With several copies, the nearest count.
Chain A
Amino acid sequence: MKFSVTVTLKKDVLDPQGKVVQQTLQNMGMKTLKDLRQGKYFEVDINENDEKLAKDKVDEMCKKLLANLIIEDFKISKL
């Protein structure tokens, strides 16, 4: 069973990477770009038949390792 996980910085945490990427794009002429935030993306394949159970496992992975909950939020979707 496959899931996608996105991990993004919390709103009040500064995102230096996103900011530089945004500036670069704007300098390249993308005048309509208003805002850009950068995060991480994971594709997780898990050996589990029960969707609820599988999702719980992925949730655990996020909390234990993939995201740093002090500064980051995460979101899981089934693929």
Chain B
Amino acid sequence: MNITKEVIQKHGLTIEEFVKIKDLLQREPNILELGIFSAMWNEHCSYKSSKIHLKKLPTKNKNVIQGPGENAGIIDIGDGDAIVFKIESHNHPSFIEPYQGAATGVGGILRDVFTMGARPIALLNSIHFGSPENTKTRNLLHGVVSGIGGYGNCIGIPTVAGETKFNQTYNENILVNAMAVGLVKKNKIFYSKAKGIGKSVVYVGSKTGRDGIHGASMASAEFDDDSEEKKPTVQVGDPFTEKLLMEACLELMKDKSIISIQDMGAAGLTSSSVEMAFKGDLGMEINLDKVPCREEKMTPYEMMLSESQERMLIILEDGKENEAKKIFDKWDLDFVVIGKTIETKKLKLYYKNDIVADIPIEALSSSAPQYERKWTKTELPKKETNFKNLKKINFKESFLKIISSSNHSNKNWITEQYDQMVMCDTIQKSGSDAAIIRIHKKNKAIAVAVDSSANYCKSHPITGGKQIVCENWRNLISMGAKPIAITNCLNFGNPENQEVMGQFAETIIGIKEACEYLDYPVVSGNVSFYNGTNKKNIFPTPVIGGVGIIQKPEKNINHLFKEVGNSVLLIGKTFGHLYQSAFSNEILSINEGPPPEINLINEKNNGEFVLELIKQNLVLSVHDVSAGGTIVSLAEMSIGSSLGVKIEKPKNLNNIFEYFFGEDQGRYLIEIDKNNLEKVKELLKKNNIFHEIIGITQKDKFELAGEFSIDIKELSKINNKWYYNY
């Protein structure tokens, strides 16, 4: 096959990149080699536009065992246990085929976690759809939710937390990010770095088909009007086979026969073999005749670029082949030695006794292009709207409209489609600020949550970046967990656009500042660029997934009110910031102005104080204040607990909308037992923590004194109906 300009373009490579390939090879590549380069050099595998920015993120603290650079990050949780976790995007495939796209997204992230020797114990997801009025949205929502559930439920790992948002910016490009969390013994962690020459390279799992040929390149190209044509590349997930693969791998890992192991994710056999060889500073030889194929007459090109799911590559210690094969036979899975490690640092592929590709490993990895793309700053938007004069707006109606809107409605419709209880260690299912998963057979737990806020990030990326880290941190604190580390999925538009690149660079600056201040490092993550269509980019949407430790899970608290007659305190100062708020968006249809400011000092003080109160058993329930403001958070504490609250307007209140809908950061609502109130007040004073007593819990009624009162059952109905009616 002739390598024309068109062929090069179809492979997502620029002419300059092609020239570089020829330089590195000192000759023209053949089409197989070109395919391999295109897979390794695309944005998804090479991080060519993002690397220089990602390097800025803090990646260490005293709990971190493994930061970015492996299949997933790892933190120490004591007692010889460690938690492995990572988040990854499957945006483009999910837009094309929502069920399979979302399902294979879950499958992929699970492999990243069990590859490291961990048994997955929880799944999370962050999903973003276009506006509900968009005709595609309903199908996409249904497909994605059942795909996520279909995979997780079948394999038997509880899906315990997530977030679902609607915004017109995702009309033509939805976001599906999946996060997996696993548990491993600290001394039983497996890595992808190859070691030793002449070791067997083994292919295990499903057979290779023509699935998703060039999926990784697809994930790095914008949609355009003929994205229809790209459709056949969608992969079909087989959670049943993944379950077998997971059990077989974990069984093999009990023994000492694995040198290194790597899942075949994006760019399949190509990226897994190159990554293992590159990390081990050696080469690899593969005999493609041996690759188990599902279809007849598959070409080397197809085998190397197939993205068939549920496959792994393993490098074995000498002489362990038979023992290992027995385990895979038991689970009815393919197990084939397809090659070996070699001293020459090359990827050498053989097919029908010919050498069909011969590429220096470095050319595919460390020599891949890296770009310092141009970017522009986003100025802090001015405060133009005047929110002082809202006389015509009815407070109660606005409040009810917000809690019955797509974005703020109860998500039961979704979470009931996920098995949240399998494995029997789910102490807190989704619905609270974070989920709590017990460490099996131990009196210890972790809290996990994912967060994003695209409106804030769009308005001002540095502040937005800080804000999501803080919000995620707050969510873990609210469950009584000490936040340890995060993973992040950075969903952005086209990086060749300077404004988008600027959003990316500045979001990272924001994330970095917050992570450093809170000692909350990044241990893994994923970048998804080219989200958008025909030059219209999505709002910058970084998603943060956090993990925290709970030492004594039996004292567990959540956001639900516990008793009648208790005081509810608002911790943190309210300024009444309405720009970019749910109120401004949903009620006034105003999307301008800056996001709420982040004050890291207050954030940390308030959070640590709340955590201390929880530790000392002085609070009954905790909820952070986020989108929708205080009134929405209070409503959430009522709904589900069936306990109401009588909210008192603070003295000197001049704008009820600003006070109750304002989205100022660093705030928590806490319920204090009557008998502990004095003690808590003293502590607040001693620690100089700003607070107000905002209400008293009561039976049945959710009430704002002097404004309105509504029955909890009624409120709950209003909050529940959106999904069921959509």
Contacts and interface: CB of A to CB of B under 8 A. Distances in A.
A and B: direct contact (Cβ < 8 Å)? Answer: yes
Interface string A5-28: 000011011111000100100000
Contact of A14 (B231, B232, B308): B308
A7 B332 CA distance: 28
A71 B100 contact: yes
A71 B236 contact: yes
Contacts of A14: 206, 209, 211, 235-236, 238, 294, 308
B95 to A, nearest CB: 11
A12 B295 contact: yes
Contacts of A71: 97, 100, 234, 236
Given A12-B295, A16-B241, A68 B236 contact: no
Given A16-B240, A20-B240, A70 B211 contact: no
Nearest to A9: B236
Interface string A28-68: 00000000000000000000000000000000000000001
Chain A binding site: helix, strand, loop or mixed by DSSP?
loop
Contacts of B96: 70
B98 to A, nearest CB: 10
A68 B235 CA distance: 13
Among A12, A14, A15, A70, max chain B CB count under 10 A is at A14
Contacts of B211: 12-14
B210 interface: yes
Contacts, number: 36
A13 B99 CA distance: 14
Chain B binding site: helix, strand, loop or mixed by DSSP?
loop
Contacts of B209: 12, 14
A70 B234 contact: yes
Interface in B182-238: 206, 209-211, 231-232, 234-238
A70 B96 CA distance: 8
A12 B210 contact: yes
Interface residues of B, number: 21
Nearest to B332: A23
B236 A13 contact: yes
A10 B234 CA distance: 12
A14 B209 CA distance: 7
B390 to A, nearest CB: 39
B77 to A, nearest CB: 35
B308 to A, nearest CB: 7
Nearest to A10: B232
B413 to A, nearest CB: 16
Contacts of B231: 70
B294 A70 contact: no
Contacts of B99: 68
Nearest to B231: A70
B640 to A, nearest CB: 29
A50 B559 CA distance: 61
A59 B567 CA distance: 63
Interface in B506-559: none
Contacts of A16: 236-238, 240-241
Contacts of A68: 97, 99
Nearest to A12: B210
Nearest to B98: A68
Interface in B91-130: 96-97, 99-100
B500 to A, nearest CB: 28
B369 to A, nearest CB: 32
A12 B210 CA distance: 6
Interface in B708-725: none
A12 B235 CA distance: 10
Contacts of A13: 211, 236
A46 B235 CA distance: 28
Contacts of B235: 14
Nearest to B209: A14
Contacts of B97: 68, 70-71
Nearest to A65: B139
A9 B210 CA distance: 14
A12 B212 CA distance: 11
B579 to A, nearest CB: 40
A20 B294 CA distance: 14
Among B96, B99, B238, B308, max chain A CB count under 10 A is at B238
Nearest to B139: A65
B410 to A, nearest CB: 23
Contacts of A20: 240
B310 to A, nearest CB: 9
Nearest to A27: B332
Contacts of A70: 96-97, 231-232, 234
Interface string B293-309: 01100000000000010
Contacts of A15: 236
A58 B604 CA distance: 61
Contacts of B236: 9, 13-16, 71
A45 to B, nearest CB: 13
A73 to B, nearest CB: 12
A78 B206 CA distance: 31
Nearest to B298: A12
A15 B308 CA distance: 12
A25 B206 CA distance: 19
Contacts of B210: 12
Given A14-B294, A70-B97, 6 more contacts: A13-B211, A14-B235, A16-B236, A16-B241, A70-B96, A71-B236
Interface of B: 96-97, 99-100, 206, 209-211, 231-232, 234-238, 240-241, 294-295, 308, 332
8 contacts: A12-B211, A12-B295, A13-B211, A14-B236, A16-B237, A16-B241, A23-B332, A68-B99
Q: Which 10 A-B pairs have the closest CB atoms?
A: A16-B238, A14-B236, A12-B210, A70-B231, A70-B97, A14-B209, A13-B236, A12-B295, A70-B234, A12-B209
